[in-house]
């Protein structure tokens, strides 16, 4: 019942992301106090025992809490009787409160990633910045990076984070080829050059070091990433997968307060 509920209510993840999620999540023991937060926590963990609960906050609708867990956002009633999985719309404004909540959470989480752990391609004086979860093998990631100079020309800095689509480990328990390639890139003396060469289909020189690839992959799971590229504006809004330079400019302007 628990697995079926999760799949029906939370949406089916991609095969590799789902496998990685199962590896990355563990049950979180509920607080002892019988507070509304503890009731909400216990309700979700009864339905999805392996859920990793990242945030529980009062929802915009009375009598409910907003829960972000394992890359999903749901609403659970204070008494634990009801779970709502879906988009919450402010009818007076026609805006998505769910999207706003995700954006705020993602902005906060992305801000925790040190600049030194990112691979950055930027113009001299960028007007806008996007964060992109990327995989060196995905076709649209490669197309996006082929246009990096045109994107930079639009005044947009691109900050890449690692998200190997095959996961960190495969079904055999061994590190995946893509994960090892991305580690090699992040451990290269010249990350940007190694990254660009990998986007052209050239295998990076094997290297290993203390690196952020797994941490960035896990962060992507928490933020709901299920594929690459996943492009986020400065306010934390997911603005798309692949975007042309012109479309990306329009999207970042719409979410930066700098649009005309």
Active site residues: 135, 138, 141, 165
Cβ contact 219:201 at 8 Å: no
Burial of 150 (0-12, 13-18, 19+ CB in 10 A): middle
Residue whose entry in the numeric block shows the structure tokens 């990631």: 141
**DSSP of 132-162:** EEE-TT-HHHHHHHHTHHHHHHTTEEEEEEE
Cβ contact 26:52 at 8 Å: yes
Query: Residue 151's closest CA among 258, 242, 216?
Result: 242
DSSP type of residue 27: -
- For 217-231, b/e burial (b = at least 16 CB within 10 A) is bbbbbbbbbbbbbbb
């Amino acid at each position: 019942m628990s697995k079926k509920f999760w799949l029906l209510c939370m949406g089916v993840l991609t095969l590799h992301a789902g496998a990685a999620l199962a590896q990355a999540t563990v049950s979180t023991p509920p607080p002892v106090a019988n507070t509304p937060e503890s009731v909400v926590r216990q309700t979700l963990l009864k339905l999805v025992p392996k859920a990793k609960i990242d945030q529980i906050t009062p929802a915009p609708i009375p009598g409910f809490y907003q829960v972000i867990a394992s890359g999903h956002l749901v609403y659970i009633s204070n008494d634990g009787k009801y779970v709502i999985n879906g988009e919450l719309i402010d009818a007076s404004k026609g805006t998505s409160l769910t999207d706003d909540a995700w954006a705020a959470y993602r902005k906060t989480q992305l801000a925790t990633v040190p600049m030194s752990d990112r691979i950055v391609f930027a113009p001299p004086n960028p007007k806008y910045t996007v964060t992109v979860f990327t995989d060196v093998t995905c076709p649209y990631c490669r197309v996006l990076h082929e246009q990096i100079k045109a994107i930079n020309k639009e005044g947009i800095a691109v900050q890449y984070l690692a998200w190997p689509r095959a996961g960190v480990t495969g079904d055999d328990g061994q590190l995946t080829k893509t994960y090892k390639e991305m580690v090699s890139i992040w451990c290269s003396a010249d990350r940007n050059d190694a990254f660009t060469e990998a986007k052209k289909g050239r295998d990076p020189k094997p290297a290993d070091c203390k690196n952020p690839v797994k941490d960035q992959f896990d962060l992507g799971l928490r933020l709901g990433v299920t594929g690459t590229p996943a492009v986020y504006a400065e306010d934390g809004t997911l603005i798309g997968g692949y975007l042309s330079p012109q479309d990306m400019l329009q999207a970042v302007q719409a979410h930066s307060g700098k649009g005309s």
